[in-house]
Amino acid sequence: MTEASGNELREIGEAAIARLEAVNSARERALAETRQVVRLCANAIRAIHRAEFDTARDLLGEAQGLLQGLVEELTSQPKIYWSGYVQDAQKEFAEACITLAIIGESDLPDPPALQVDDAVYLNGLAEAAGELRRHVLDTIRRGELQRAEEILTVMDDIYGLLVTVDYPDAVTSGLRRSTDMVRGVLERTRGDLTMSRQQRELTDALKRAETFLGNA
């Protein structure tokens, strides 16, 4: 090998190492920031269930800022952007935002508003159904069956939308599996609400009977 070819090889190696270093740095940042986004979204969902909606909005605003900065940073690193964990963080963000909108009774954001892909949004919508079930159970315990009925209707609408999305998993990021999960959650929630209604009707009937016998 001549001195010239040796220099060329060294330059090629240095350039390749520099590119790999850039990829690794982007990966490390993506891992750290997506974990932070997931934590923020989890805390936001907890706040939503406590009806602390302003706190949830603040947490989601912080999560959105992190995601926006990360997406901009990764425009030159598509391999890292499409690795999966960025989309998982976006799904958690979409889930939390959808849950906040439904439980907090505000306008439902769409994918462009959240700056996420359609498949990510739909999977987030499916995950939100699980949080809605939790909300329904909370409202049942408080005796707010009308509210529980309203949320169950929303869950039914979510399933009705998801079941119409008939594309390969490679396109929808495994939405079919998420849709099956929603169906199970919906059926269990409907059963819980039906049982609660029957118990209330029985309790009311017993109270009426006691009142009638007491006045007889």
- Annotated domain spans of the chain: 1-110, 117-216
According to DSSP, residue 108 is labeled P
pLDDT score, position 206: 62
Tell me, yes or no, if the two domains 1-110 and 117-216 fold the same way. yes
Of all residues in the chain, what percent carry a pLDDT higher than 90?
Answer: 63
CA distance 36 to 148: 32
User: What would the mean pLDDT of 26-49 be, rounded to a whole number?
Assistant: 93
Structure tokens at 95: 């889930």
d(CA 186, CA 181): 9
Provide the pLDDT for residue 98: 98
For 181-191, the pLDDT digits (tens) are: 999 999 999 99
Question: Which tokens is 28 given?
Answer: 């490390």
Does the structure show a pLDDT above 70 at 216?
no
- Is 117-216 in CATH node 3.40.50.12780? no
Burial class (CB in 10 A: 0-12, 13-18, 19+), 58: middle
Cα separation, 1 vs 189, in Å, equals 73
- pLDDT of 199 reads 75
The fold adopted by the segment(s) 1-110 is Methane Monooxygenase Hydroxylase; Chain G, domain 1 (1.20.58)
- Angle at 160 (CA atoms; ends 155, 161), nearest 5 degrees: 100
> What is the reported pTM?
0.86
Mean pLDDT of 114-122: 95
pLDDT at 210 > cutoff 70: no
Give Cα separations from 126 to 5, 71, 93 (angstroms): 57, 23, 13
pLDDT for residue 84? 83
Binned at pLDDT 50, 70 and 90, residue 205 comes out as low
Confidence of residue 38 (pLDDT cuts 50, 70, 90): very high
